[in-house]
Structure 1
Amino acid sequence: MNKIYYLKTCSTCAKILKQLPNLDRFELQDIKPNPLTEAQLNELYAMAGSYEALFSRTATLYKERGLKDRTLTEDDYKALLLEHYTFLKRPVIVAGDKIFIGNKANTVAEAVAYLK
């Protein structure tokens, strides 16, 4: 499976997509109009090893809800990821059996190198 979960309105996601070689080999899913399904989230979980790895602590809702002051469980992360698209660390790039999560420079560089 070659798929990228991203947010079309996110300038960082757009910048990263421009850097990726062979983008035409990927199915793109804009997570705002097409949120993750539970099945998709479970597939990402299997690759990432945890829901927490997929979770964005920079989401505005994370701060607004005071979640930073709580100890969240894997079940909490899963529920939040299914509840609102903004909790997904993005982009999530799935290339075969490899997953790249988020927009940190080293993650993007690894994805670009892997996809060449």
Structure 2
Amino acid sequence: MADKIYYLASCDTCRKIIKSLPKGIELEFHDIRQDKITVEELEQMRELAGSYEALFSKRAQLYKERGLKNQTLIEEDYKALILEHYTFLSRPVFIIKDEIFIGNSQPNILKVMKALENV
């Protein structure tokens, strides 16, 4: 399986991270707005992440707009929401050598860079 990044092309943070990636790496780019995540892709991500909740962005505008923070969500809810709208996926998501890296925190991006050095 190819190493992959799930990102949003219109997201400044994603663009900044992509620009900072090492040159010459083999990475499959998947813009989640242009090309929706499939059930299979999301299930593969969950398998690596351990839960759908780990992949879910509680910073998404729709999370606040829909009042989801006041609800008790279960795994199936997280899965359905991520499949319904791309903004619910915490991004970017990197899959490198069967390891998953979720989100744009500095420590996470440093781990991504280290993993890419070893590719």
The TM-score bracket by the shorter chain reads over 0.9
Q: 1:96 to 1:4 in 2, by over 3 A?
A: same
Give the count of matched residue pairs.
116
Task: Measure, in 2, the Cα distance between the counterparts of 1:64 and 1:110.
Answer: 32
Matched residues, percent identical? 53
Paired residue secondary structure (1:80):
helix
Q: TM-score, normalised by structure 2?
A: 0.94
Code of the residue aligned with 2:87 in structure 1: it is T
For each residue in 1:58-84, what CA deviation from the matched residue of structure 2 results, as whole angstroms up to 9, or x when unmatched? 000000000000110000000000000
Unaligned runs of 5+ in 2: none
How far apart are residue 20 of structure 1 and its match? 1.7
Q: TM-score, normalised by structure 1?
A: 0.96
CA contact (8 A) 1:93 1:100 kept: yes
Match in the other structure for 1:115: 116
Match in the other structure for 1:41: 42
For residues 53-92 of structure 1, the aligned pairs below 5 Å read 53-92=54-93
Code of the residue aligned with 1:3 in structure 2: it is K
Task: Measure, in 1, the Cα distance between the counterparts of 2:22 and 2:33.
Answer: 24
The alignment yields a C-alpha RMSD, in angstroms, of 1.0
